[in-house]
Amino acid sequence: MSATEARYGRRQLRSDDRFTPPVKYEEACMTQGLHEDNAIDLGPHGGERIDVVAIADGEVLMTCYGVPDYVQTTECGLCGNYIEMKNAAGVVKYCHLTDGTLLVKKGDKVTKGQKVAQMGTSGHSTGVHLHVALTDNDGKGADLRKNCQLDGWKLC
């Protein structure tokens, strides 16, 4: 078993392994399939806050933080605490992160599988989860499930 398989489980690996799911398969399930801005929602088993990782090598474009649970601010909007990262597939945005857990800032280089924050419930949220959306390099919403092999993930 490779180090990546040990860390993220065999279920998530693809023949094109440039991408990895943003959370471990064993720790989360899909709470909502494709919706809104071609986003998906992933929730932890039992409601605990779990680690969120970079889906691919890339660069942090923007972060917003300082938002407590269940609070929306003008600065961060409905997303609450968030991270936007550019990678080979486009721009990925992670929303509703736990305040104080963001480990990256604008301009940082990230590697696939690197921990960047923890799932939370900041912004317009009703419970701990990760709202994650991918915009492709043409500026259109892209189906993150295909890039990260999230099709077939168990539903909560």
pLDDT per residue as tens digits for the range 12-58: 334 356 788 888 888 887 776 666 777 888 889 887 899 999 989 99
Q: From 103, 115, 128, 112, select the one nearest 42 (Cα to Cα).
A: 128
User: Alpha-carbon distance 131 to 152, whole Å?
Assistant: 18
Q: How far is CA 17 from the centre of its chain?
A: 17
- Residue 143 DSSP symbol: -
Beta-strand pair 39-44/28-35: antiparallel
Burial grade of 63 (CB within 10 A; 0-12, 13-18, 19 or more): buried
User: Alpha-carbon distance 48 to 119, whole Å?
Assistant: 8
- Residue 7 DSSP symbol: H
pTM, rounded to two decimals: 0.82
Residue type, position 135, single letter: T
The beta strand positions in 1-147, using DSSP E, are 28-35, 39-44, 51-53, 58-64, 81-87, 90-97, 109-110, 115-118, 130-136, 141-142
Q: From 128, 129, 130, 134, select the one nearest 146 (Cα to Cα).
A: 134
- Write out pLDDT tens, residues 3-16: 444 444 433 334 35
Instruction: Grade residue 102 by pLDDT with cuts at 50, 70 and 90.
Output: very high
- Residue 13: what pLDDT? 36
